[in-house]
Amino acid sequence: MAIKPLEGLKVLDATSNIAGPYGGSILADLGAEVIKIEVPSGDPSRSMAPIDGDKSAYFNVVNRNKLVAEINLKSESGMAELHSLLATADVFLTNFLPDRLKALNLTPVDLM
């Protein structure tokens, strides 16, 4: 089996909707280890029809080849877990708005 170009790259994917999750799936297709950060209530796209089990077809397409880490970003322990994952990640993929990033201490300056 051929080595994929992004093997060895670790990506934390804290995205939702279309573009972010799709971008993360492309990185995973190219061999990156992509960990999707998901809130305890689940990604809203899990409930988009058609549904098979606990995942929709849409969710399966844009989150293929990803691992999932359920993290409560509203708790201190959840934020500690996120920062622990960030410490070993090469890429942080997010589509949080700037105010949300600031509230979570996840701005580029915070992460450097």
**2 assigned to some structural domain:** no
Query: Which long-range CB contacts under 8 A does 71-77 form with residues at least 24 apart?
Result: 71/37, 71/38, 71/39, 72/39, 72/40, 73/37, 73/39, 73/104
- Interatomic CA distance for residues 59 and 86, integer angstroms: 24
pLDDT-derived band at 48, boundaries 50, 70, 90: confident
- Interatomic CA distance for residues 18 and 29, integer angstroms: 16
pLDDT, mean over the chain: 92
pLDDT value of residue 81: 96
pLDDT value of residue 47: 82
**5 assigned to some structural domain:** no
**104 assigned to some structural domain:** yes
Estimate to the nearest angstrom the gap between the alpha carbon of 38 and the chain centroid: 7
**Domains of the chain: total:** 1
Among 20-24, 29-33, 58-62, 80-84, which is the least confidently predicted range?
A: 58-62
88: containing domain: 10-111
Q: Which residue has the higher pLDDT, 87 or 54?
A: 87
**83 assigned to some structural domain:** yes
Estimate to the nearest angstrom the gap between the alpha carbon of 78 and the chain centroid: 14
pLDDT value of residue 111: 84
**1 assigned to some structural domain:** no
pLDDT value of residue 33: 99
Burial of 82 (0-12, 13-18, 19+ CB in 10 A): buried
**3 assigned to some structural domain:** no
CATH number of the CATH domain containing 74: 3.40.50.10540
- What mean pLDDT is predicted for residues 62-76? 96
